[in-house]
Structure 1
């Protein structure tokens, strides 16, 4: 390609690595830069579900009324480090303004093109790489105590229906015939087909990154301080005391993208939605498919030699140590959901999901700086939407028009200059 570019990608999680692969397939030279190395951050610790139906944001109508009760109940999956609240308030105020039906409809419409065909997006991304083996097509089930509890979520299910999602309802014996591992008091499931899961998310991203390297890409472990540009055109990335020359820079560093984007004149109201997972190693039985247990708002995913439990939300910033209560709640919920399952040991993890106040990712070129692009802000659906996001960015960088309306993701909505 005569117009081949040198592209520095800051952040080697699922979005950055996806972009790298699609850019290489277009003939570009890529440099992946990450402070910890590929697949070490949020992409390592996610729930592992290719959750195409996860288009309904947390900010549903009624959240403002329910949130205080959730925060003060130890059995609810929402936690707060109270000393962080003054710093959180400006973001939280903006976030809660979206807890209405019109905004939820708008957000769901924006998320569907990014996540709605996730299994196919991942299979296309991983084709011909060493990462293919980690992708497992599967159902995805939402579990309820009974039909009445399911109907209490009618608002979200109607939004999914509007966007083309269909499901099978399994009740009582029909659900137990599908998967007998769960407790008797879980008597209803909404089963969505055409989903999937990743049986080792960290190794999946590392194998994708290894493919990038095998195809001539460069991987650098360093912390990026700034983007260098002259005459409003990117010329390099400053990392580890040196400038790495490039003509395009792409920021895909999750929640750590905010300060770099701000230096480019894009001030995103972004917070860490601190996420926890608990792995049950060598369990005596596995769920047949990944499930969302509605009563505890947690996901249980069968993985390579373990069950991963995820789904807690905590607000407390980037610096505070993990809390004990979320891990204990995950363990309690697991014992309640599949009481007959035993396991040999447990592994705990806490990481940071990038949460913009409007729940819509930031994807596209920075206004007024040629060659600077952003791709972050996926809340809890980064793994699901990573491959499509990377592909859209590769198309934009190649000056091709994506077949998706990308204006809704534009960084210009947060431009300060």
Structure 2
């Protein structure tokens, strides 16, 4: 006899966070409906760097960033871009965002994110077990390449903080690393490898395999544009979409950079959520393939071996979620590639742009929407959505299932952005 589902959970958003939440909720015995526009390559989970960056525990705003911003914004050789017509809307967010560029907040982020990220490889393996998506996961170092000894020394505080939180680090001279991977011969003075990281060889195909498994296990997938959330008597009643109403017992909001409007309906009215856009370029059928993911410190972009191609992903661009992709970030990455791989050949090049959800304090919202009894938040992961997706989904499933937790998750509590009564 089939066991009756405990509750019906509707998840708004089918990126890695939404799909992870759906699978873990399904495994806990719930009926689950996923709702998403399903616009393929436009989704952020499709185009990320493919790295399980377990050590990505530092926020972008660090002490001294505000002083560097003017040079970064006006230089064509820096990985920061801004669409100027968007600046008036961005300024309140930016002021609050930069106010967190303090040593105490960096330490707070490191403590909080180390819990969320440290076991990311194992979390992905657990999520993918029995789904057919296992083949995309590999256990590889995440390396940082420094062109000069000075740039290596400038990153010392970040290495020290990761070391303090238990991350295993291997440091090599550039020449020694080039023996391991000749593709980088003559490029780096120092290379730092973070162990116990990992890689997804094709994020889009990985997500598709997880979604197919969810549907094969009885989950419902609705391709629809989410327009509103209907509340009744202080509780979630239905999603309003261009395909009709989607009712359920619980709502999980996991719409990434598009979550802000809906979060306000669920009582999170003080949230400033911005679209921190990222780009990638792929080199198809290259003449050589890197051995492991590499963060190129000079350009702040990641080079990752994919299936049949190399993906070069990175940069930060602040602009509207609806604004078209710009040429500046693409040209920046192309210049970096030409410098890094002068002898590499490939069949052709393609490019992509996606939108990361950025919060002012650089921490995601994971937890109950306390203004209503049956809503949960799972968004705001910025650069770590792929890495943190499976654990976030497991946490959400435990919360919906009323499973007790001994972990302090207050750093992620959406209540920090809730309007005071």
Task: Please tell me the TM-score bracket, short chain as reference.
Answer: over 0.9
The 2-side partners of 1:169 and 1:242 are apart by: 55
Please state whether the residue corresponding to 2:81 is helix, strand or coil: strand
Q: Distance in 1 between matches of 2:411 and 2:174?
A: 42
Once residues 193 and 244 of structure 2 are traced to their aligned partners in structure 1, the CA distance between those partners, rounded to angstroms, is: 52
Query: Contact 1:34–1:221 at 8 Å: present in 2 too?
Result: yes
> Structure 1: how far apart are the matches of 2:343 and 2:324?
32
Alignment partner, residue 211 of structure 1 = 213
- Paired position in structure 2 for 1:89: 91
What is the deviation of 1:329? 1.2
Alpha-carbon shift at residue 199 of structure 1 (Å):
0.9
Offset of residue 149 of structure 1: 2.0
Question: Is 1:98 the equivalent of 2:100?
Answer: yes
Distance 1:368 1:81 in 2: 35
The correspondence for 1:407, drawn from 410, 416, 419, is 410
User: Is the contact made by 1:183 and 1:339 (CA closer than 8 Å) also made in structure 2?
Assistant: no
2:159 counterpart (151, 157, 160): 157
1:75 equivalent in structure 2: 77
- Note if 1:281 corresponds to 2:284: yes
**Correspondence 1:292 to 2:258:** no
Deviations 1:277-323 (A, max 9, x none): 00011110111000001011110000000000011111111122111
2:45 to 43, 46, 52: 43
**CA offset digits 1:25-76 (Å, max 9, x no partner):** 1010000000125775100011110000111111011100111111111011
Bigger shift: residues 293-302 or 180-189? 180-189
> Secondary structure, in 3 states, of the residue corresponding to 1:76?
coil
Partner of 1:236: 238
Which has the higher mean CA deviation after the structures are superposed, 105-114 or 298-307?
A: 105-114
Count residues with an aligned counterpart: 417
Separation in 2 of the partners of 1:146 and 1:252? Answer: 40
What is residue 249 of structure 1 aligned with on the other side?
Answer: 251
1:40 & 1:28 partners in 2: Cα distance? Answer: 29
Structure 1 match to 2:326: 323
8 Å CA contact 1:291, 1:301 repeated in 2: yes
Question: What residue ranges of structure 1 are gaps of 5+ in the alignment?
Answer: none
Q: What is the deviation of 1:368?
A: 2.6
Aligned with 2:175 (options 169, 173, 176): 173
Q: Normalising by the residue count of structure 2, what TM-score does the alignment of the two structures yield? A: 0.96
**Post-superposition offset of 1:236:** 2.3
Q: Per the alignment, do residues 241 and 304 of structure 1 end up closer, same or farther by CA in structure 2, a change over 3 Å counting?
A: closer
The separation in 2 between residues aligned to 1:217 and 1:319, in whole angstroms, is 30
| Cα offset, 1:402, TM superposition | 2.9
Kept after mapping to 2: 8 A contact 1:228/1:234: yes
8 Å contact kept, 2:167–2:195: no
**Mapped contact 2:40–2:46 kept (Cα < 8 A):** no
What is the CA-CA distance between 1:233 and the residue it aligns to? 2.5
**Aligned-partner Cα distance in 2 for 1:185–1:319:** 37
Moved more, 147-156 or 196-205: 147-156
Equivalence map 1:14-33=2 (5 Å) = 14-33=16-35
Q: Which runs of 5+ in 2 are unaligned?
A: none
- For residues 226 and 276 of structure 2, what CA distance do their matches in structure 1 show? 22
**Aligned ranges 1:341-356 → 2 under 5 Å:** 341-356=344-359
Q: What per-residue deviation string (whole Å, max 9, x for no partner) do you get for residues 213-269 of structure 1? A: 000000001112222232223232222252212000001000111100011110221
Cα pair 1:16 1:252 within 8 Å, conserved: yes
* Shift, 1:370, TM fit: 1.0
Indicate the RMSD between aligned Cα atoms, in angstroms.
1.4
Matched residues in 2 for 1:28 and 1:207: separation?
A: 20
Q: Post-superposition shift, 1:380?
A: 0.8
Structure 1 residue 307 and structure 2 residue 310: aligned? yes
Q: TM-score, normalising length from structure 1? A: 0.97
Checking the alignment, whether the CA contact within 8 Å between 1:186 and 1:337 is kept in structure 2 is no
